[in-house]
């Protein structure tokens, strides 16, 4: 499509208002509700200007960006009102359109009044695509919006040309972290440090943080553990013409959002719902499946009852077919001729720690190979060895970060997380809290007692013996116990 044709297509779109508005939900984890929706625009479905990147690039080149953004806002407000959506409406606005001399202040307010949408329900979301130079003029424009009752959000923090300066000078009500820092955050300590620093800055500036671009349950779990409350992404809802209104249908259960640990209740965080093949499937069909999906490393082989009987690894199949005449001999045969029956299958109910032990006990298990995840013996999907190792490493780092520096035992954070999980899962448990009087001055005077593991172990053994001496466990029911105090003598 030539430049002239693009400009002509843009002119037709603006003349007829041929734009489509989609809405993506922004959710609050703590309140389990939809805070609002971000309005996103697409061009005509049969047009080369359908993708937003192309559409806005052409408008910017033609000097009609401000005109296009106003048309997008009008389309979004009309559709938001027609759908009767609740919550806030986030409207994308570029700083350069606000600084455009042709920009007419007050048009957005008049448009909202026409649709019956109060300004307090609208968030102006600044999306920076080009460098912003006139901060004073931009500050004046945003103060104008604030004076009319709008809230301000800063989009793609960390990706723009001057987003940190925009934050410090404009003091937005909402800050949206760029997807780059959310993607794979459960596997990247640097990204977690970045998000933690953003949370501290947001607290100081009284801004609310929105993590956008969440696509994996592991990313959501880590963000929730770090204290991020407002979330957005494909995992929770894609941009749609008719978005969901029910937060409960979008958010996973609270127990699955809670921090993942070695004794977590299942392996859902590791599950990849990959296709499987029947044991009678011809090998040439298996080859086609691997060719069609470059990221597919393994295929589970199932019997008629959907139970795994073998596994085919890409690299082993390739090696087998590289032998002389192997292709002619095997491609029309069943996959059970080349599948491996030496595979690891684990139930969904097993813990991460148990799976880790099973993997490390298998001498021939390769790091790039997959294992099979089953539920009640039936195939559910595949898990990757490398994911288990990464998750175990991340958990060890988390435990070390929150450990007591003196005893290296779990600190307040993991203790609170454990209690929260027990309450959420409604599991019966007995908690014993031990408070040693005057321990701090004792340790300062006799610090050497905790300077090596042997002496520390002796101290802990002494505490346990004291507990057993002064507390009696009396059975209450078959599934629970009751602690009765027997007039403990105080030891200092």
Higher pLDDT, residue 47 or 119: 119
Domains and CATH numbers, the chain: 3-249 (3.20.20.450), 268-391 (3.10.580.10), 428-492 (no CATH)
d(CA 55, CA 169): 30
Contacts of 284 (CB under 8 A, 6+ apart): 331, 332
pLDDT at 480 over 50: no
Measured distance between the N- and C-terminal CA atoms of the chain, rounded to whole angstroms: 85
Q: Can you read off the two tokens belonging to residue 25?
A: 């939900």
Helices (H), 63-162: 65-83, 95-98, 107-115, 135-147
pLDDT at 443: 67
Three-state DSSP state, 33: strand
Report how far Cα 166 is from the mean position of its chain's Cα atoms: 26
Which of 134, 128, 135 lies closest to 155, judged by CA? 128
Distance, in Å, from the CA atom of 316 to the CA atom of 330, rounded to the nearest integer, reads: 14
Q: Lowest mean pLDDT: which of 9-13, 106-110, 150-154, 393-397?
A: 393-397
Helices (H) and strands (E) in the chain, counts: 19, 16
Output DSSP code: residue 259: P
- φ, ψ (nearest 5 deg) of residue 246: -105, 110
Query: What pLDDT digit, counting tens, does each position of 411-428 carry?
Result: 777 777 778 777 876 767
Query: Which residues pair with residue 92 across a beta bridge?
Result: 125
Spatial distance between the Cα atoms of 173 and 375, rounded to a whole number of angstroms: 45
Lowest-confidence region among 28-37, 211-220, 238-247: 28-37
Paired with 175 in beta bridges are 154, 209
User: What is the per-residue pLDDT for 220?
Assistant: 92
Comparing 239 with 385, the larger pLDDT belongs to 239
**Mean pLDDT within 136-147:** 79
- Note the pLDDT tens digit of each residue in 149-162: 999 998 877 555 45
**pLDDT at position 492:** 40
Q: Is the pLDDT of residue 475 over 70?
A: no
What confidence category does residue 134 fall into, taking pLDDT thresholds of 50, 70 and 90?
low
Nearest in space to 370 (alpha carbons), one of 267, 278, 446: 267
Read off the pLDDT of each residue in 49-53 and give the average, rounded to a whole number: 87
Tens digit of pLDDT for each residue in 380-407? 999 888 888 888 887 777 777 777 666 6
């Amino acid at each position: 499509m030539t430049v002239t044709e693009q400009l002509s297509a843009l002119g037709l779109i603006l003349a007829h208002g041929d734009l489509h508005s989609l809405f993506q939900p922004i959710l609050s984890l703590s309140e389990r509700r939809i805070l609002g929706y971000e309005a996103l625009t697409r061009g005509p479905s049969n047009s080369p200007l359908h993708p937003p990147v192309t559409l806005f690039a052409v408008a910017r080149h033609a000097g009609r960006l401000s005109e296009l953004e106003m048309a997008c806002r009008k389309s979004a407000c009309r559709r938001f009102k027609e759908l009767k959506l609740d919550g806030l409406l986030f409207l994308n606005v570029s700083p350069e359109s606000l600084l455009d001399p042709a920009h007419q202040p007050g048009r957005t307010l008049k448009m909202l009044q026409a649709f019956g949408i109060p300004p307090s329900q609208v968030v102006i979301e600044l999306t920076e695509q080009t460098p912003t130079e006139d901060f004073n003029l931009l500050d004046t424009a945003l103060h104008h919006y604030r004076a009319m009752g709008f809230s301000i959000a800063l989009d793609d923090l960390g990706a723009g040309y001057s987003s940190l300066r925009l934050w410090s000078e404009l003091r937005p009500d909402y800050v949206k972290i760029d997807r780059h820092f959310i993607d794979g955050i459960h596997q990247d300590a640097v990204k977690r440090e970045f998000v933690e620093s953003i949370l501290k800055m947001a607290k100081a500036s009284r801004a609310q943080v929105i993590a956008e671009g969440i696509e994996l349950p592991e990313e959501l779990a880590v963000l929730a553990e770090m204290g991020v409350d407002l979330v957005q992404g494909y995992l929770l809802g894609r941009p749609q013409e008719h978005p969901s209104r029910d937060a409960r249908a979008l958010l996973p259960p609270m127990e699955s959002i809670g921090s993942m640990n070695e004794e977590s209740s299942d392996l859902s965080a590791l599950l990849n719902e990959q296709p499987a093949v029947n044991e009678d499937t011809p090998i040439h069909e298996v080859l086609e499946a691997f060719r069609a999906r470059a990221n597919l490393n393994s295929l589970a082989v199932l019997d008629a009852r959907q139970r795994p009987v073998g596994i085919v690894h890409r690299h082993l199949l390739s090696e087998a077919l590289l032998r002389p005449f192997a292709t002619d001999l095997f491609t029309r045969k069943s996959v059970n001729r080349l599948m491996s029956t030496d595979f690891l299958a684990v139930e969904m109910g097993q813990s991460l720690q148990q799976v880790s032990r099973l993997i490390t006990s298998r001498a021939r298990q390769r790091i790039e190979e997959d294992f099979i995840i089953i539920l009640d013996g039936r195939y559910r999907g595949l898990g990757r060895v490398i994911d288990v190792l990464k998750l175990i490493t991340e958990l060890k780092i988390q435990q070390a970060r929150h450990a007591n520096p003196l005893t290296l035992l779990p600190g307040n954070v993991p203790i609170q997380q454990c209690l929260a999980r027990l309450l959420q899962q409604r599991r019966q448990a007995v908690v014993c809290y031990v408070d040693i009087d005057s321990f701090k001055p004792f340790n300062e005077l006799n610090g050497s007692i905790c300077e090596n593991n042997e002496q520390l172990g002796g101290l802990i053994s002494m505490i346990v013996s004291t507990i057993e001496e002064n507390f009696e466990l009396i059975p209450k029911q078959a599934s629970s116990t009751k602690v009765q105090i027997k007039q403990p003598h105080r030891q200092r």
